[in-house]
Amino acid sequence: MTRRFYVRTYGCQMNEHDSERIAGVLAADGMEPTDDLTQADVVVLNTCCIRENADNKLYAHLGDLKVLKTQRPDMQIAVGGCLAQKDREGVRDRAPHVDVVFGTHNLAHAPELLREARSHGPLVEILDEHEAYPSALPARRDVDHAAWVTIQIGCDNSCAFCIVPSVRGREVSRRTGDIVHEVEELARDGVVEITLLGQNVNSYGRDLGSGQFRPQFADLLRTLDTVDGIERIRFTSPHPKDLRPETIAAMAECAHVCEHLHLPLQSGSDSTLARMHRGYTAKRYLERLRAARAAVADLAVTTDIIVGFPGETDDDFARTLDVVDEAAYDAAYTFVFSPRPGTEAALMTDQFVSAEVVRDRMARLTDVVERHALQKHEARVGRIEKLLVEGPSKRDPSTWSGRTGQNKLAHFVPDDATRAGDLIEVRVTNAAPHWLRGELTARVKAAPRRRVRIPVAVV
């Protein structure tokens, strides 16, 4: 009988796309996908190690799977991804019932490792660098109209809080021609929105060619803007220190590049930014943000902010609030500092900020972020917004959701013809800090049809 597989993802968009590739190689090996965990012959957990909570989720889930494996001894459990790359044999030390452990650099080996483990018992294979660019692997998506496209892997930065360089390696850019070919294939398959992925997309091409022959991220945006069938181009994440005028100009001039910029601030304090090794000051950050807003009409800006980085004083945090207030973000992803073993910041134990202080700062930061988010959204009431339809709400299937070009979530009541992947127009009637609500007014373009669907669970 054909074996069935189930993939669960922890962490970021890069991990989600890696899971699509894991699903792709398993399907290419003759397995079938299932979204029913209890019916799976192979369960793959694709892990994250950036946030402590992701570790906790993984080992809690492995505990649940131990019970299931006791009932079904032939079921195989594989753990891959960033935490597997970092902890290596430690995964099986904590969860001996795991059959296979593989890292971020050897996704293509998953079917072979599973076969070997069935014959010879549990094994761990962690490579320290990629054998080949991973996007050459087949990918199977669970969304018909949108796709991730990796343009770069690894990171050459040395942020004190981040373990990505340790688990993803040095920066490696894909050749532009390979990316364009993949996007053209996706468009033929019915994809209308792509999101370009890289740890620092702004540095794309730095390792390709030389001099005037070295491609830049702006060049890639302009090239992909011409691909027939692609309606929206998004990207994440750019590093503020590398946000070039050419990239801002390409965003302004390309018809299909979305009016959304995710620009991680992390802190508004120059001293904290220096300890983080971020490579910019608050003043320089704000200058580049103003340049982007001046060039790109109706630009929405989102950010990442860490609260309680080691040594953060009351004055440091006050400066962060000042920058957040001046930046007036559309939304912000706020995180409590979490020490990750293997990073410089994890060793700053004598400078850790107390949990009580961090909770107070987080509450104050949230108030400022949500005040600006609500103001931004209330200003859109009465406007006509173009949405790419995502589908029905999990809480209320009678209400559907979509995203604007600014990546704002908008809810609406569909008509009988509405399908995920449609481009529609709604008139905004209500606003909240995290969403808009509107009335369907027009259908712009129906969703193309797609050939294949393979589910990949994300947590």
263-287 confidence digits (pLDDT tens): 999 999 999 999 999 999 999 999 9
pLDDT of res. 129: 72
Same domain as 337, residue 220: no
Same domain as 37, residue 23: yes
Sign of the torsion formed by the C-alpha atoms of 412, 413, 416 and 420: positive
Which range is least confidently modeled, 143-157, 205-219, 230-244, 283-297?
Answer: 205-219
Q: Is the pTM of this model over 0.75?
A: yes
Same domain as 306, residue 189: no
Confidence of residue 453 (pLDDT cuts 50, 70, 90): very low
Which CATH number characterizes residue 394's domain? 2.40.50.140
Same domain as 50, residue 8: yes
CB 103 within 8 A of CB 129: no
Backbone phi, then psi, for 360, in 5-degree steps? -65, -45
Query: Residue 98: pLDDT above 90?
Result: yes
Same domain as 364, residue 291: yes
Longest dimension (CA), the chain: 65
Confidence of residue 133 (pLDDT cuts 50, 70, 90): low
CB 88 within 8 A of CB 100: no
Same domain as 127, residue 9: yes
Quote the domain boundaries for residue 441. Answer: 384-445
Confidence of residue 251 (pLDDT cuts 50, 70, 90): very high
**Nearest Cα residue to 133 out of 85, 93, 168:** 168
Which CATH number characterizes residue 27's domain? 3.40.50.12160
Which CATH number characterizes residue 337's domain? 3.30.750.200
Same domain as 323, residue 307: yes
Residue 117 lies in a domain: yes
Same domain as 331, residue 419: no
Residue 137 lies in a domain: no
Instruction: Give 338-347 pLDDT, tens digit per residue.
Output: 998 889 999 9
Q: Where are the alpha helices (DSSP H) in 234-304?
A: 245-253, 270-276, 282-295
327 or 52, which is more confident? 327
Instruction: Give 433-449 pLDDT, tens digit per residue.
Output: 999 999 999 999 999 87
CB atoms under 10 Å from CB of 321, counted, come to 16
* Count of structural domains, the chain: 4
181-198 mean pLDDT = 94
Q: Is 116 left (phi over 0), alpha (psi -120 to 50) or beta?
A: alpha
**3-state helix, strand and coil shares in percent for the chain, rounded to the nearest 5:** 40, 25, 40
Residue 202 lies in a domain: yes
Same domain as 374, residue 302: yes
Same domain as 118, residue 24: yes
16 or 418, which is more confident? 418
Query: Residue 52: pLDDT above 80?
Result: no
Q: Report d(CA 200, CA 407) in Å as an integer.
A: 20
**Could you say which of 99, 131, 163 is where a domain stops?**
131
Query: Residue 312: pLDDT above 90?
Result: yes
Residues 6+ away with beta carbon under 8 Å from 100: 76, 77, 78, 79, 110, 113, 114, 117, 122, 123, 124, 125
Residue 399 lies in a domain: yes
Which CATH number characterizes residue 232's domain? 3.30.750.210
pLDDT of res. 108: 86
Same domain as 121, residue 89: yes
Same domain as 358, residue 317: yes
Element (H, E) at 435: strand 435-445
**Could you say which of 79, 107, 131 is where a domain stops?**
131
410-429 mean pLDDT = 97
Residue 406 lies in a domain: yes
